[in-house]
């Protein structure tokens, strides 16, 4: 039976643009590390009883804005359950590359 509902492939998610996993990993890792550094610096200044320098106040204000934008982008490019299931089904029925029986 042919389905009349178009399904998306994992590579077609979000306006037909695919962000490679390595690129996403790098961006998430950098943003996470930046958050740890900024937060650690702020805690250090607070532990000393000093006020935050202006650059740190600005960084603490801008960081959540960037993280929120990245989170929204990540959610936009997350494949649907249908697309993931279609990919899983395709892999499950694919024969071994060298036609050997495993198991």
Read off the pLDDT of residues 36-79 as tens digits, 9 standing for 90 and up.
Answer: 999 999 999 999 998 999 999 999 999 999 888 887 877 776 66
pTM of the model: 0.55
Distance separating alpha carbons of residues 12 and 31, to the nearest angstrom: 25
Token pair recorded at residue 13: 């998610």
Q: Do residues 23 and 29 make contact, with C-beta atoms less than 8 angstroms apart?
A: no
Q: Is 47 helix (H, G, I), strand (E, B) or coil?
A: helix
Give residues with Cβ within 8 angstroms of 13, minimum separation 6. Answer: 77, 78, 79, 80, 83
Residues 69-100 pLDDT 10s? 887 877 776 666 665 565 555 555 555 566 56
């Amino acid at each position: 039976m042919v389905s009349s509902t178009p399904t998306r492939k994992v590579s077609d998610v979000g306006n037909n643009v695919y962000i490679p996993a390595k690129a996403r990993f790098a961006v998430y890792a950098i943003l996470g590390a930046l958050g740890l550094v900024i937060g650690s610096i702020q805690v250090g200044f607070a532990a000393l009883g000093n006020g935050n320098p202006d650059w740190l106040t600005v960084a603490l204000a801008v960081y959540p804005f960037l993280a929120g934008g990245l989170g929204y982008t990540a959610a936009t490019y997350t494949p649907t359950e249908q697309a993931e299931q279609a990919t899983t089904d395709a892999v499950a029925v694919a024969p071994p590359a060298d036609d050997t029986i495993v198991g």
